[in-house]
Structures are given as C-alpha cells and as structure tokens.
Homo-oligomer: A and B are copies of this chain.
C-alpha cells in the first residue's frame, strides 16, 4: 500500500474548499426540505424544534441562557423563539425561586406530546433523505466529520 501518488500539497486547499462547498450544498438541501416538512406537517420551524429538543432532554427545563448555550445561538434570538412556543402552549416560563432575573423554561405536557410526534417524523425524514448511506457508512462519515470546536469561541 501507499504506492498511490499523493496530490501536490498546494492542492489541499482546493480540495478542502471543494469539500466545504459540498457540505454547504448538502446541508442546505436537507435543511430546506426539513423546513418545508416542518411547515406543512406541523406548522412549525426547525429552530422551534431545536429548542423543544433541547428542553426534552432536561426534565426540569433550562434557563434562557442555558438554551442559548446548548444550541449555540445568541441569547436575544432565544427570546423570540421561546415567546412563540409559549404562545402555542408548548412550553412555559417558570420563575426561579431566589433569582428574579431568571426563568426556567419547560415543556408542557402538550409540548412533550407534540415533540414526540415531531421527533419521530424528523428521524424518518432524515433517514429517508440520507437513505443512500448504510448504518456503517453513516457512522463512518459522522466520525470523520468531527472537527475541533473553535478555541476562541465566546
């Protein structure tokens, strides 16, 4: 093995750029189809689903700042999404005893039931969209794609 000629070093940058453009295109294609499905089947959006998914993993809910930390989105952004989920009765803001600044956000029973339906559909949509990959291939690529976090992230 290893008799294959390596590409010239100066080509690595071009190949990485090509990989990036491919990842971007693939991700956007899937995201756009998920958006359409969430809209037509559940009258919701991917960001709202993401928030509910985060909340579903914590029985006691999360504080606003914890949601933005888990999802890595700005705190101002979470306010609007949580507002809309609360309007729909899928979540509630519960005041935190001893800290009047904070509020704990939790799924309601209605929210839990709705999320269970959405999560099942979501997994099926993804499995369909990525149906070309066997379990082994999917696992292998997912492992390869694990890039290090930005060390200067705030």
List residues of A whose CB falls within 8 A of some B CB: 6-9, 11-20, 22-24, 26-33, 72, 122-124, 126-127, 129-139, 141-142, 144-150
Let me know if B12 and A127 touch, CB within 8 A. yes
Determine how many copies of this chain the complex contains: 2
When the two chains form the complex, which single residue of B8, B22, B135, B149 contacts A142, counting CB atoms closer than 8 Å?
B22
Residues of B within 8 A of A130 (CB): 16, 19-20, 147
Do A19 and B147 form a contact, CB below 8 Å, given A6-B135, A13-B127, A27-B27? no
Let me know if A16 and B147 touch, CB within 8 A. no
Let me know if B124 and A13 touch, CB within 8 A. yes
* Minimal beta-carbon separation of A93 from chain B (angstroms): 26
Do A26 and B29 form a contact, CB below 8 Å, given A133-B16, A137-B144? no
Let me know if A23 and B16 touch, CB within 8 A. no
Residues of B within 8 A of A122 (CB): 17
Let me know if B20 and A126 touch, CB within 8 A. yes
Residues of B within 8 A of A32 (CB): 72, 150
In the complex, A9→B147 CA distance in Å? 28
Let me know if B19 and A142 touch, CB within 8 A. yes
In the complex, A18→B146 CA distance in Å? 11
Do A18 and B147 form a contact, CB below 8 Å, given A6-B135, A13-B123, A23-B23? no
> 5 A-B pairs, CB-CB below 8 angstroms?
A6-B136, A14-B123, A16-B127, A18-B139, A19-B142
Nearest CB in chain B to that of A18: its residue = B142
When the two chains form the complex, which single residue of B6, B135, B150 contacts A29, counting CB atoms closer than 8 Å?
B150
